[in-house]
Structure 1
């Protein structure tokens, strides 16, 4: 006897997932030609302390998908409330994501946000397929924390830590 899994209604599925608050990150890299690329991700987590690994999920339909598949390194920037508008820009297809933003560059010219709540510089360790996304597993080779608190994403909007949801 084969167990049959019923297809879940996508709108109900999205609504259920929106009920889980998550942090917000801007993930960046530099392409082979030196161009900067990035995306916003709320699917981010620590994976291992030894070795230090994190994971972030990237939509296969993202404009920057091929660049991240070829990249050897990437940077995860944990977004603060002051960077919420920037996170929305990085979540928008076709936007000029790096215009008028004060990114710093590491020794390999990968962009990072100097005032992020935390910044993790990663070497691409593994790519794992995950439906319409891929899971980028990064080995952290440098990490720093900033002074700001992270912002959370909940039911389609940003919340500061300690705020009550509408």
Structure 2
């Protein structure tokens, strides 16, 4: 078998890029912070994930054009509210532009002084550890200071739709087998 490696990759079609990665379900997470004057700030990401167990680290990505991330970055800490399937309205509220995103969002102050959104599947309380520029996004690494487990299943996004694991058929046992 011959493998050809080029130094310049072929241009990737943006539509194909979105379609290919749209097949992969992602969790829906609200990244939140509280300003010194008590104003809640937040944004939605589909990239929140664990990074390291020792030390406990998490990571997420945010578009460089975000108007909310600079404020959250300056606060130095955030809570990743892993939204539950019952929180599509929270996702929509925090996806809006403007300063009134929390108008209809029920939250309380977390153990690290950030908005902890009621009803989430889990909460991960972090300090911003580092940020790297990668293409049109920032990759943020957070040092985890506390965790809380809520109730319910995590809200997922796949193929332009929100749902849970029941949105997609469960593969039969024969479909789950991986052959070499």
Fold agreement, TM-score > 0.5: yes
Q: Does 1:42 align with 2:46?
A: yes
Shift of 1:95: 6.3
Distance 1:107 1:117 in 2: 17
* Residue in structure 1 matching 2:62, options 29, 34, 58: 58
- Measure the CA separation in 2 of the matches of 1:59 and 1:30: 20
Cα distance, 1:34 vs structure 2: 3.2
- Could you give the per-residue CA deviations for residues 42-88 of structure 1, whole angstroms, max 9, x where no partner exists? 01110000100000111111111211221210000011111112112
Aligned partner of 2:20 among 12, 16, 23: 16
Q: Which has the larger radius of gyration?
A: 2
Counterpart for residue 120 of structure 1? 124
Q: CA deviation at 1:96?
A: 2.1
Which blocks of at least 5 consecutive residues in structure 1 are unaligned? none
Q: Show the counterpart of 1:151.
A: 155
Question: Which whole-Å deviations, capped at 9, do the CAs of 1:83-125 have from their partners, x for residues lacking one?
Answer: 1121122122226210022101025531011321000000111
The alpha-carbon distance between structure 1 residues 108 and 23, as it changes in their structure 2 partners (threshold 3 A), is closer
Q: CA deviation at 1:163?
A: 2.5
Point out 4+ residue stretches in structure 1 off by more than 6 angstroms.
Answer: none
Distance 1:108 1:16 in 2: 38
Q: Secondary structure at the match of 1:116?
A: coil
Which among 130, 133, 142 is matched to residue 129 of structure 1? 133
CA RMSD of aligned residues (A): 1.8
User: Which segments of 5 or more consecutive residues in structure 2 lack a partner in the other structure?
Assistant: 170-180
Length-normalised TM-score, structure 1: 0.92
Aligned length: 165
3-state DSSP of counterpart to 2:90:
helix
1:39 Cα deviation from its structure 2 partner: 0.4
